[in-house]
Amino acid sequence: MPATIEPDDSDVLLVVDLQPDFMPGGALAVAEGDTVVPLANALMQKFAHVVLTQDWHPPGHASFASTHGAAPFATKSLPYGDQTLWPDHCVQGSAGAALHPELDTDTPFLILRKGMRGHVDSYSAFVEADGKTTTGLAALLRARGVERVFCCGLATDFCVAFSALDARAAGFATYVVEDACRAIDADGSLDAAWARMNAAEVWRIQSREILG
Ligand code: VGL
Ligand code: ZN
């Protein structure tokens, strides 16, 4: 099948959280998460603008179950809303928080770290979980003439979905490259994420539509 999408100067590829802690064997492992890395590298070659994100939490982060003496995957009410509690992951400076060693870090113009503030999580590359604090990414992309945001990485139902929904809300045409993502899929979270993305007109595409 020939490529049907030819990225141009107004397109950005957003590569979300390809870090060892989200890979098989990692602290918050996503099944087959490692299979996304070569696809992300191939996709990057098609884009004039590429941004990587890196989940980057201080020790004792509000999203960690251990911080609250709770069980991982429980839900906790925090001042900004309900927070899923995770195993400790992507602790700043730890090996699990690094970018995957096979990920192309030469092509991206920006590596955006998120979730750095102790009391607020940030699944999204655009807006933190308080719904207010912006990372500045939307303004930066607009200043570069970006109109369409293509998302891939981990995890489909959390950081990819939240980033895609916020890209859409910021006015970008937004696409998720489904086969270049993998999901955590806890308690129906993958279906729920796609329902929200479909409702928001975030388009679901496959990497072959770009790679040919
Ligand atoms: C993520 C849960 C917690 C993700 C990050 O990258 O999807 N999920 N932190
Ligand atoms: Zn995290």
Pocket flag, ligand 1, residue 175 (CB < 6 Å): no
11-211 fold: Rossmann fold (3.40.50)
The residue whose CA is least distant from atom 6 of ligand 1 is: 159
Check 17, 88, 104, 166 and give the catalytic one.
17
159 is annotated as an active-site residue: yes
Which phi and psi angles does 181 have, rounded to 5°?
A: -135, 160
Active site residue 151: no
On whether the CB atoms of residues 33 and 153 are closer than 8 A, the answer is no
Rounded to an integer, what distance in angstroms lies between the CA atom of residue 67 and that of residue 79?
Answer: 15
CA-to-CA distance for 121 and 139, rounded, in angstroms?
Answer: 21
User: Which pLDDT band, with edges at 50, 70 and 90, does 3 fall under?
Assistant: confident
Q: Is the pLDDT of residue 157 over 80?
A: yes
pLDDT digits 0-9 by tens, 49-98: 999 999 999 999 999 999 999 999 999 999 999 999 999 999 999 999 99
> Is-cis flag, bond preceding 200, omega within 30?
no
What would the mean pLDDT of 120-128 be, rounded to a whole number?
Answer: 98
Indicate if the pLDDT at residue 2 is higher than 80: no
- ipTM rounded to 2 decimals: 0.98
- Residue 55 CA to residue 64 CA, distance in Å, equals 13
| Catalytic (active site) residue 114 | yes
Q: How many CB atoms lie within 10 A of CB 94?
A: 17
Gap between the Cα atoms of 124 and 53, Å rounded? 9
- CA nearest neighbour of 96 among 33, 190, 177: 33
Nearest to 84, CA basis, from 155, 5, 2, 177: 155
Q: How far is the CA of 23 from the centre of ligand 2 (A)?
A: 13
Can you tell me which residue has the tokens 């509000």? 62
Distance CA 18, CA 153 (A): 6
- The backbone torsions φ and ψ at residue 210, rounded to the nearest 5 degrees and listed phi first, read -105, -40
Residue 1 banded pLDDT, cuts 50, 70, 90: low
Percent of the chain with pLDDT over 90: 98
Q: Quick check: CB of 181 below 6 Å from ligand 1?
A: no
Tell me which residue has its CA closest to atom 1 in ligand 1: 159
Mean pLDDT across the chain? 97
What mean pLDDT is predicted for residues 195-209?
Answer: 98
- Identify whether the C-beta of residue 177 lies closer than 8 Å to the C-beta of residue 150: yes
Residue type (1 letter), 61 = H
User: What is the Cα–Cα distance from 175 to 68, expressed in whole angstroms?
Assistant: 36
| 164, pLDDT greater than 90 | yes
In angstroms, what is the span from residue 118 Cα to ligand 1's centroid? 15
CA-nearest of 138, 155, 151, 167 to 192 is: 155
CA of 143 to the centre of ligand 1 (A): 28
- Residue 204 near residue 171 (C-beta atoms within 8 A): no
Phi, psi of 139 (to 5 degrees): -65, -40
